[in-house]
Chain A
C-alpha cells in the first residue's frame, strides 16, 4: 500500500512517453541529418565531441578531420563483388559533417570509443604565426 501512496501517476506517464518520445525525436533528427547524435563541449583551448553510437567500435566508423570541421561516416563492412572478385563499392549508411568554431590541430587530435560513446578531443590550432621574411640586398 505504501508504494501506491508514493507513486506519482504523472511520473508514470512521463516514463512511458520517455522512451517513445526519444524514439520519435531521434527519427525526426535522423531525417534532418542529425545522426548520429552529438554533444559538443567547448573551452578556450579545445573542443570535445561525444558521439552516441551504442554497439559500434572503432572499426565501424570513419573519422575525417578538416582544418575546421569533422566528418563522421559509417564504415560498411567490406564485401567482395560477386562478378569481378574485387572489393564491392560501398556507400556509407550515414555521414555527418560538423563545422567547428575554430581551426584545430590535427596532430594533437584524438578519438576514443568507450561503451558506445565516441569521444573526439580536438585542441585548438596554434595561431598561425606571422613570419617575417628577410629582404636580401
Chain B
C-alpha cells in the first residue's frame, strides 16, 4: 500500500439542540492510528495505518480500498471547540462538540 496516499473519508455532521455530532467512517483504522487536531475552529483528522494486504496472497476481488484518510473540517460558528470529545470504535469516529454556552437559549425568570 502506498503510504503517502490519503483519501477523504465519508463524513456526516448532525445538529442537535445543544451540540453537533460529526461521524467519520474510517474502516480498518484503530484508535492509535488516528490523529485529531483542533486549531481554532478547524478540526483536522489524519490516519497512519501501516496495513498491508495478507502476504503471499493474490487479490482477486477489490470492492473497497484500505487506505489512510485525511480530512479537515471547519466546525460551525456555534460550536465550542473547547467542549469536544472524540471516540473511535469499530472503524467509526464520533466527534461530539457542544454549542457555545452563551448561544444557548436561556430561561428568564420573571420577578
Contact = CB atoms under 8 A, between A and B. Distances in A.
A22 interface: yes
B28 to A, nearest CB: 5
Given A22-B10, A41-B53, A54-B91, A115 B61 contact: no
B103 interface: no
Given A41-B54, A42-B57, A52-B27, A115 B90 contact: yes
Contacts of A48: 54, 57
A64 B20 CA distance: 39
Contacts, number: 79
B28 A117 contact: yes
Q: Residue among B28, B53, B63 with the most chain A CB within 10 A?
A: B63
Interface residues of B, number: 26
Contacts of A76: none
Interface in B35-63: 53-54, 56-63
Given A22-B10, A115-B30, A39 B59 contact: yes
Contacts of B53: 41
Nearest to B94: A55
Contact of B10 (A23, A43, A53): A23
Interface string A1-23: 00000000000000110110011
Given A54-B90, A117-B28, A43 B57 contact: yes
Given A39-B63, A56-B90, 10 more contacts: A19-B10, A39-B64, A42-B58, A48-B57, A52-B63, A55-B91, A114-B28, A116-B28, A116-B90, A117-B66
Interface of A: 15-16, 18-19, 22-23, 29, 34, 37-43, 48, 50, 52-57, 113-117
